[in-house]
Amino acid sequence: MYIFNDHVTAFFFDHYSTFTLGIDSQYDVADEGGGPRCLPPVRATRRSQGTLAPA
């Protein structure tokens, strides 16, 4: 599991979902208007896939 807060410049609780569950194997860094930051994509591990919300 990887938890990351990328909204440091706009910290307001109305920007956040009550609950979010990602189901992809990889998430790229978002472009928030200034171009994407030079960070690697966030990848899920095989061990964590499917363990949080089994079908």
State the Cα–Cα distance between residues 55 and 46, nearest whole angstrom: 16
Model-level pTM? 0.42
H or E, element range at 42: strand 42-43
Percent of the chain with pLDDT over 70: 42
Tokens of 13: 């609780």
Interval 30-41: pLDDT, tens: 887 888 888 898
pLDDT for 16: 62
Tokens of 6: 């990328």
More confident residue, 54 or 24: 24
Q: At residue 29, does pLDDT exceed 70?
A: yes
pLDDT for 9: 59
CB 44 within 8 A of CB 24: yes
